[in-house]
Amino acid sequence: MSAHEAARLAQARAWLRQDPDPETRDELAGIITRAASGHEAAVAELEDRFRARLEFGTAGLRGEIAAGSNRMNRVLVAQAAAGFAAYLTERAAAGTTPTVVIGYDGRKNSRVFAKDSAEIFAGAGLNAVLLPRLLPTPVLAFAVRHLGADAGVMVTASHNPPNDNGYKVYLGGENHGSQIVAPADAEIAAHIERVAEQADVGAIPRSESYRIADEEVVDAYVSATAAVAPAPVGTAGLRWVYTAMHGVGWETASRVLAEAGYPAPWTVSEQRDPDPTFRTVSFPNPEEPGAMDLSFAKARALGAELVIANDPDADRLAVGIPDPSAEGGWRRLTGNEVGLLLGWRAARAATADGPAAPGASLACSLVSSPALAAVAAHYGLDFHETLTGFKWISRAPGMLFGYEEALGYLVNPETVRDKDGISAAVALLGLAAEARGRDATIADLLDEVAAEIGFFASGQVSIRVEDVAVIGRIMAALRQDPPAAFGGVAIEAAEDLLAAGDGAQAGDVLRYRLADGSRVIVRPSGTEPKLKVYLDAHADSAEAAQASIAALDTAIHALLDTLI
């Protein structure tokens, strides 16, 4: 056994001694035993689990539930909670005690991780408030502002595979309940590292003096969200299907819908209630192929006009509409199409009685469609393009609405500074009901927007990998030998955001602008082991825009085949 392998064994044994979870402890003990006997697969497994620590990414900590510093488990969560408590204590004003709110969804270990965190926050002398039961992520984001808390933690892995979990961190005060950004992420990570170096989570002080939040917090979220779009004339008789994708959305969404005055939907009963195994889908993500098949089947059988889906923690929204040209007669709108509709809605509302207030803006991530900028220009609004993630979008000045193409929408920035699939659903239902009142459909609304700003089309090439190092190699190859064209269309300008300067926000993103006005953006996913390539085109007709996307898609696949 090499010195490196012996060091890994010692590291794993130190971890084992402090692990309070019998499941992950037994799992790790077996791997250690096999590795000590020279079993190559076990040695490699230890290397993978302990070669690094999970880091704060686009959505905080997120990873597979298993033993090790590179996995999600009770040791890692305890270290994160203690480190975050130290950070909050350090930055608190003299004589004040920070308050932190903790929420959790229905995933495996979510409640355990949340309770561990509440006990550690309380043990550190903080005012810890645990939400009363499993709830959507937007309720936690709302609670941070509603309670005037200094911080919030949401235990969720959103739409990741079943055995993943995560730890999203929010800051109150001047951050207005948004997710953490630099330098807070690095400062928190440094505190966590100091806790981890002590290698004894059993010595971290704990207390059961945390408080369970009043139901008033949930009631307040329901009322604020229902007020986003009270049911207009034309709502009666609206036939639609809803799925919670085995997550926590239905209980809260049903209350919001009733208070807002919308007719109750048909629900996909197999996916309505929380189920950490997500048994009917390969991935509990409405973007994934097949994830909405049950919804569409129900819509076809019952003659629905619309399908609405939340992801498991209800911070994302997916929308399906009838489409005779699509397989099965239904299609899911892209995130850009929904973002365009909701942005158009916000722009019209802001200018209904005259010019919008100075500084009023629309915002989206840099990988989202340029169509939103066109809407902003058409209605005389400011526009902001940000790095990917709502931790950036939520900070756009004067924002009336913000979105990212991965089905995330922020329609009520005065109450929730994060993507919110429930408030977005209410806003979308309001649009559908208004259109219905004049015998129009969601598809008709998309045509109306195109008549104002032109025809935009988007596409995406997404490659999931087993080894994330593959993604790094592809990005390095593109930087070392940049392409000159895609599909015969020359690249006029190329930007590497890792080298961004002059105050620009840097990120691992490559952006190409082509001679025909189309755009290609390449970046690693911040939440999954994926490389994502975003395609955008603008043309004089829908057919021309789609043809441009099809040509780009073919060219990107051909290029990636040579790099993988």
Residues identified as active-site: 158
Closest CA to 292 of 322, 318, 316: 318
CA dihedral 83, 84, 87, 93 (to 10 degrees): -140
Closest CA to 35 of 60, 57, 68, 58: 68
Collapsed DSSP state (helix, strand, coil) of residue 218: helix
d(CA 233, CA 458): 33
Segment 19-26 long-range contacts (CB within 8 Å, at least 24 positions apart): 19/67, 19/73, 19/74, 19/75, 20/74, 20/75, 20/78, 20/201, 20/202, 21/73, 21/74, 21/75, 21/112, 24/65, 24/66, 24/67, 24/73, 24/74, 24/75, 25/67
d(CA 2, CA 293): 51
d(CA 109, CA 74): 9
Within 10 Å of residue 54's Cβ, how many Cβ atoms?
Answer: 21
Pairing of strands 382-386, 399-404: unpaired
Phi, psi of 147 (to 5 degrees): -90, 0
Q: Cβ distance 225 to 422 under 8 Å?
A: yes
d(CA 289, CA 281): 9
Provide the strand spans (E) within 61-104: 61-64, 99-104
* Region label for 356, one of left (φ > 0), alpha (ψ between -120 and 50) or beta (otherwise): beta
- Gap between the terminal Cα atoms of the chain: 32
CA separation, residue 34 to residues 8, 9, 480 (Å): 13, 11, 41
d(CA 187, CA 66): 26
Q: How distant is the alpha carbon of residue 155 from its chain centre? A: 13
| Continuous segment of H or E residues that includes residue 430 | helix 421-436
Q: Cβ distance 241 to 295 under 8 Å?
A: yes
H-assigned helices in 235-315: 249-260, 269-272, 293-302
Helices (H), strands (E): how many in the chain?
18, 22
Closest CA to 31 of 15, 48, 43: 43
Pairing of strands 361-365, 382-386: parallel
d(CA 364, CA 347): 14
